[in-house]
Structure 1
Amino acid sequence: MKFKNNLLKQLVSDCIAELMPTYKKEEAAQMVFWLTEDFFGMTKSALLLNPERRLSESEMLSLHFAVKSLKSHVPVQYIIGKVEFLNLSLQVTPAVLIPRPETEQLVDWILQIETAQGLKILDIGTGSGCIALAIKQGLPNASVWGYDQSSDALVVALQNAKSNGLDVHFFKGDIFQEKIELDPVDVVISNPPYVMQSEKSVMQPNVLEYEPYTALFVPDETPLLYYEGILKQAQLLLKPEGRIYFEINEAMGTEMVALLNTWDYKAVHLKHDLNGKPRFISGIKQ
């Protein structure tokens, strides 16, 4: 793209216009403001207060290439390399899913319920570590573990623990291949893959083309595959009266209630997200 001049205010306007064939205006503007804040330390309000700020040639190039990536549907979070999750700033790379607002709601819900001291908590399929780290921040006296089958994801999670000064223990394994070697815990949490392959047609290109496929999708024939594997592990992992929490596919609420009942969980509770969709479920091990 060609810029009219090096005034940041004009560059922002040019970038938004360049992105509008691909994105709605509001979304394009939001992404450009994220870029200017991350690249140049200029918030939206600071930009309004400093309309004469000019960029160097190298700064203009960085903005140019970022907009080019956005036009190719690269998620803006991967371009700037980080995302805000509750009160945490987390590194994200294409090795991990970008944390969603729904998962923030899951963590908030858990923190409202799990108020005891000294809890032992396991996050299965930890990815960037967002759930485990936010839980540790909210429950500093808890012992928290994060488990994932991806070495690349665990590198990101460990870096996020370090940068946020949180003591969470991360380890690798595959729930379908081996028993999770850990003493019994009070709480198991998971936001596992739950998008059915038939749902690809309604998903955005930035998700389909760039976020890790194995962290998103499950076969249509076995949509509860990961939940079944985790519940099997939880038979030994969870203490009696231990609690389990899942984020789920909105189309699978009834099936998930039935699944937890099949595994003899009591007080099974299906909770809706902020959009009124059945998105979370919990149960207590008998």
Structure 2
Amino acid sequence: MPISYLDFSRKLAAQLQLYPESEALNLVDWLLEYHFGLKKVDFLKFMEEKDLPEAFWQDFEKLQSGVPIQYILGKAPFYGRDFLVTPDTLIPRNETEELVYLIKSQNPQSGLRILDVGTGTGCIPITLSLEMKAPEVYGVDISKEALQIAEKNRDLLHAKVSFSQIDILNQTPDLRDLDMIVSNPPYVPLWDKEEMHLNVVDHEPHLALFVPDSDPLIFYRVIGEKGKNLLKKGGRLYFEIYEKAAEEIQSLLEKQGYDRVTIHKDLNGKDRMLSAVKP
């Protein structure tokens, strides 16, 4: 017997107790669309619980346990494109889209040489490759598994990005005269772990999330230092930053000799991005 889609979706959402009600409803819509290939408006025309395949219920159980839906579906949207994701990669987020938009809006030139440090899914360098004017783009990461996903995303989206495995804390890319270095590095201190949502802490790669409490700015410091040799004069640094440490990161880069070190707010008014210029 057909049932109301709204009633059914609310029934399922109520079982996703890890999430606020509005987010749970969105996740149910997303999972139903994935399994049926139909939008919410199509479901309003019919809905019979018996029509739901076993695979849907298996995925719904994963959702209930806290597995992020992007890992269940194997993909995540970013800047209007779908990127493959696995538990070896961070899930692309809206704040990082804002970082890409900032970079694009401030750099209309063509042929820029760009390095992304800690590339993960490759969402930043691939998007810059596709959105900017004929850039030369490189991406590095310590994780071989993450780089394999980045390369798949590059090929699927027909982008031009050169990826390589580098531990930025102990190695330096063999590049010079870069116009830009961009990074969304690990930046969450371990002491802040308890404030994070369990589905992030339990499922996303800690290697890409956390930094030691004893040296929480380690990646900003190291990338800033190496940037002085990798960037050309007038080259720019762009970071996604930990909002609780925005002023500390700004001060760090100013002490390293960078000019115009600027904190940028995201759409929620949080200090989430930073740009700087090599003098």
Q: What is residue 40 of structure 1 aligned with on the other side?
A: 36
2:22 to 14, 23, 26: 26
Identity over aligned pairs, percent = 38
2:98 to 82, 105, 112: 105
Q: What is residue 14 of structure 2 aligned with on the other side?
A: 17
What value does the CA root-mean-square deviation take over the aligned residues? 1.7
Q: What is residue 255 of structure 1 aligned with on the other side?
A: 248
Q: What is residue 110 of structure 2 aligned with on the other side?
A: 117
TM-score by length of 1: 0.92
Letter of the 2:46 partner, please give it.
P
Alpha-carbon distance change, 283 to 72 in structure 1, aligned in 2, over 3 angstroms: same
Cα distance in 2 for residues equivalent to 1:255 and 1:18: 42
Cα distance in 1 for residues equivalent to 2:99 and 2:176: 24
TM-score by length of 2: 0.94
Bigger drift between 233-242 and 206-215 goes to: 233-242
Residue 54 of structure 1 deviates from its aligned partner by 6.8
Gaps of 5+ in 2: none
1:82 aligns with 2:64: no
Cα distance in 1 for residues equivalent to 2:75 and 2:47: 28
Cα distance in 2 for residues equivalent to 1:188 and 1:149: 16
- For 1:50-89, list aligned pairs within 5 A: 50-52=45-47, 56=51, 59-89=52-82
Letter of the 2:196 partner, please give it.
M
- For 1:74-223, list aligned pairs within 5 A: 74-223=67-216
Cα distance in 1 for residues equivalent to 2:269 and 2:249: 17
Cα distance in 2 for residues equivalent to 1:176 and 1:83: 28
Letter of the 2:14 partner, please give it.
A
Cα distance in 1 for residues equivalent to 2:278 and 2:131: 23
Give structure 1 regions of 4+ aligned residues with deviation exceeding 6 angstroms: 5-8
Cα distance in 1 for residues equivalent to 2:48 and 2:252: 58
Letter of the 2:25 partner, please give it.
A
Please say if residues 176 and 232 of structure 2, whose CA atoms lie closer than 8 Å, have aligned partners that are also in contact. no
Please say if residues 129 and 146 of structure 1, whose CA atoms lie closer than 8 Å, have aligned partners that are also in contact. yes
The count of aligned residue pairs is: 278
Cα distance in 1 for residues equivalent to 2:132 and 2:261: 23
Please say if residues 37 and 43 of structure 1, whose CA atoms lie closer than 8 Å, have aligned partners that are also in contact. yes
Please say if residues 2 and 47 of structure 2, whose CA atoms lie closer than 8 Å, have aligned partners that are also in contact. no
Letter of the 1:242 partner, please give it.
G
Cα distance in 1 for residues equivalent to 2:155 and 2:8: 35
SS of 1:270's equivalent in the other structure is strand
Please say if residues 189 and 212 of structure 2, whose CA atoms lie closer than 8 Å, have aligned partners that are also in contact. yes
Residue 23 of structure 1 deviates from its aligned partner by 2.3
Cα distance in 1 for residues equivalent to 2:59 and 2:278: 48
Q: What is residue 272 of structure 1 aligned with on the other side?
A: 265
